[in-house]
Amino acid sequence: MTPIRRRRRPAPAGACLLLAAFHALCAADPARAQSVGFDPADYGRAQLPSRQTTGDAAAYVDQNKGAFEPISELDPKDGLAALARPIGRVDIVLRNSRTGQQIGASCTGALLPGDYVLTNHHCLPQAGDMTPVKASILMDYLTLDGKGSRRFEIDSKPVEYDARLDYALARVAGAPGATYGTVRLSGEAVAGNRSMLVIHHPLGRPKVMSRFRCFAMKDQAEGPDLRHRCDTLGGSSGSLMFDASVAGIALHKEGGLDPKDPSSFNKATRLSAILGRSRILAEIAAGQGRPVAAAADTPPPAGAGPKTGAAPAARPAAGPPADGPLDPASMNAILRGR
């Protein structure tokens, strides 16, 4: 299809809410970076205080309960609460190789079978001036006080990554999947206008979901990118997008929505493209009995394949938690009823 023509606009106030020291990470294209910055001295804390921010996006999150629904308000036995359990906040400390200065960044990530975490490559960059020196995933961060949350260390050197597809797959210590479960992946083709939902940590705040007017754009371009209208903010990078099959079908990576422009959109990478490049993720999806590739999706250019480190083969999927996610029929009912 012919791509939608769109003028470049400055990112919304919250889309690149970063510390002054973090500006270099998204200066080239502010709308792309949907990680959020924090003072590295605060690494390891559940609540990341906003210092030297560029806007009042935190207040925006509080005031817009319709766009961002708190996971904390769900019954723990609710299917959506179970779907959200393997999603956590990825905190990273990066060092500038030229200046030696350290900065903090926060994204969203998902637990996978085999003790892996899936997030964006720009959250765990492996090229350029910024180098990750430590990373972790904070699970069950549902309220600002961090009560009940747990942190697990992530290897800051991913076992697989691809800058073009903007994904990174890293090992996580402590077997958090045994406690929080793991997500399911699907390489199914994503049709335009498909209803979706996103579970994420916008601005590094407690976990929420976006499902209000959350859908794939009707008009899509060829290639691995998925255009969508789901609300996100800085910190939402690396969040999986789910459809009625309650499996991840895309990996959110980039802002761009303009409330005054109905043709504007955010971007994700289709899981079909990522599964076509990732040996480990393809094995995980196959073990879960999910589609691994969709012929309708065009793969990225040659030479954009993953950089793969030595990693043990992924273990077969353990399946959803005991009070697992909603079945497709129930999920369809929820999506239609929003």
- Please spell the DSSP secondary structure of 158-203, one letter per residue: -SEEETTTTEEEEEBSS-THHHH----B------TT-B-EEEE-GG
The per-residue pLDDT for 21 is 37
**Structural domain of residue 245, as residue ranges?**
197-298+306-336
φ, ψ for residue 252 (rounded to 5)? -65, 145
The per-residue pLDDT for 242 is 92
Q: Does 286 share its domain with 331?
A: yes
| Span 66-83, average pLDDT | 89
Determine contact, residues 89/71, Cβ cutoff 8 Å: no
Question: How many beta carbons lie within 10 A of that of residue 77, not counting itself?
Answer: 9
**Structural domain includes residue 31:** yes
What letter does residue 103 receive in the DSSP assignment?
E
Q: Classify 227 as helix, strand or coil.
A: strand
Rounded Cα distance between 280 and 286, Å, is 10
Q: Does 126 share its domain with 218?
A: no
Q: Does 158 share its domain with 218?
A: no
Q: Classify 295 as helix, strand or coil.
A: coil
84, two tokens: 């959200």
Confidence of residue 75 (pLDDT cuts 50, 70, 90): very high
The per-residue pLDDT for 185 is 95
Q: Does 49 share its domain with 158?
A: yes
Lowest average pLDDT, out of 4-8, 112-116, 214-218, 301-305, goes to 301-305
Instruction: Answer with the residue of higher pLDDT: 331 or 151.
Output: 151
How many domains, in total, are found in the chain? 2
> Is 306's pLDDT higher than 70?
no
The whole-chain average pLDDT of the chain stands at: 76
303: left (phi over 0), alpha (psi -120 to 50) or beta: left
Closest CA to 122 of 173, 158, 68: 158
The per-residue pLDDT for 178 is 97
The per-residue pLDDT for 291 is 59
Of 152, 180, 208, the residue at which a domain comes to its end is: 180
3, two tokens: 């791509």
Lowest average pLDDT, out of 22-31, 114-123, 171-180, goes to 22-31
Determine contact, residues 116/283, Cβ cutoff 8 Å: no
Q: Classify 40 as helix, strand or coil.
A: helix
| Span 298-319, average pLDDT | 37
Lowest average pLDDT, out of 98-102, 243-247, 267-271, goes to 243-247
pTM value?
Answer: 0.73
Of 148, 180, 212, the residue at which a domain comes to its end is: 180
| Span 262-271, average pLDDT | 84
Instruction: Answer with the residue of higher pLDDT: 1 or 150.
Output: 150
111, two tokens: 């637990």
Q: Does 27 share its domain with 151?
A: yes
**Structural domain includes residue 190:** no
Question: How many beta carbons lie within 10 A of that of residue 41, not counting itself?
Answer: 11
> Is 338's pLDDT higher than 80?
no
> Is 108's pLDDT higher than 60?
yes
Determine contact, residues 335/195, Cβ cutoff 8 Å: yes
Q: What is the pLDDT of residues 183-192, one digit of tens each?
A: 999 998 888 7
Of 121, 154, 180, the residue at which a domain comes to its end is: 180
Instruction: Answer with the residue of higher pLDDT: 210 or 315.
Output: 210
Q: What is the CATH number of the domain that holds 123?
A: 2.40.10.10
Confidence of residue 246 (pLDDT cuts 50, 70, 90): confident
The per-residue pLDDT for 32 is 52
Q: Does 141 share its domain with 209?
A: no
The per-residue pLDDT for 324 is 31
The per-residue pLDDT for 136 is 98
Return all residues near 99 (Cβ < 8 A) that are at least 6 apart: none
> Is 50's pLDDT higher than 90?
no
